[in-house]
Amino acid sequence: SVRMFLAVPLLLGLALYWINPQLKNLTTWNWAIIVLVLFIGIRKISTYSSCIDKQTETTNFGPIAIKNLDELTQKCDELKELTKTYNVDLVVFIADWRYGVAEIGHYNYACPVLQENTMNTVMNVYERRTWIFNNEKNKVRKNLLLYNPNLKNIEEIKQKMDCTIIQKSPHLLLIENNDKTLMELSKTFDFPYKRHTY
């Protein structure tokens, strides 16, 4: 990690002191340490921009994702419009490693903040907002939007429920006139609803 370099000047100074404690007051050694610290600092500052560019080329590292704020705001705006159009009470983000749990987490946590709490969201696993997770568990919401659900039995489910696929890649499934709790929906659509996967 880059943060380890913060300790280099301190450790170097300590090492020089331990080598010869009598040299601690000599001006030459003080200047040597200052020059070394300045050299390391200037080098780090000069490569800072290129280092950030290199490290942000990959935007999804599995458990960690990087999202440009403008892109995130645009995606949240699109989601907000969908929730208004279809009068959605709750957006359920279904984490799937094939799509990117961390990226879905961005939408789950950031969209309510960027949209000034105009939409309700919850994630099926890894939800950090315990109060929302517990509150939504047994609540019946009339209109829900499932973000990234498993659709393998969708035709069979459609015969029993009023649901429509309104977008593909990722799949967005609208459930209207719902009479099931989120726990019941998790069994119907075969997704876990729990704080952790272990």
Taking only the tens place, the pLDDT of each residue in 152-167 is 888 889 988 999 999 8
How high is the pLDDT of residue 99?
Answer: 61
pTM of the model: 0.72
> What is the distance between the alpha carbons of residues 98 and 26, in angstroms, rounded to a whole number?
60
Taking only the tens place, the pLDDT of each residue in 167-184 is 888 889 999 999 999 999
How high is the pLDDT of residue 137?
Answer: 92
Taking only the tens place, the pLDDT of each residue in 37-68 is 788 888 888 888 888 788 777 776 666 778 88
By C-alpha distance, which of 89, 130, 122 is closest to 105?
Answer: 122
Interacting residues of 2 by C-beta distance below 8 A, sequence separation 6+: 51
Using CB atoms within 10 Å of the CB of residue 157, give its burial: 0 to 12 exposed, 13 to 18 middle, 19+ buried.
Answer: middle
* 152 vs 117, residue with greater confidence: 152
Taking only the tens place, the pLDDT of each residue in 71-108 is 889 999 999 999 999 999 999 999 876 666 677 888 99
Lowest mean pLDDT among 11-15, 121-125, 127-131, 172-176: 11-15
Indicate the residue type of 130.
T
> What is the distance between the alpha carbons of residues 107 and 113, in angstroms, rounded to a whole number?
10
Q: Give yes or no for a cis peptide into 63 (omega within 30° of 0).
A: no
Question: What is the mean predicted confidence (pLDDT) over 22-38?
Answer: 70
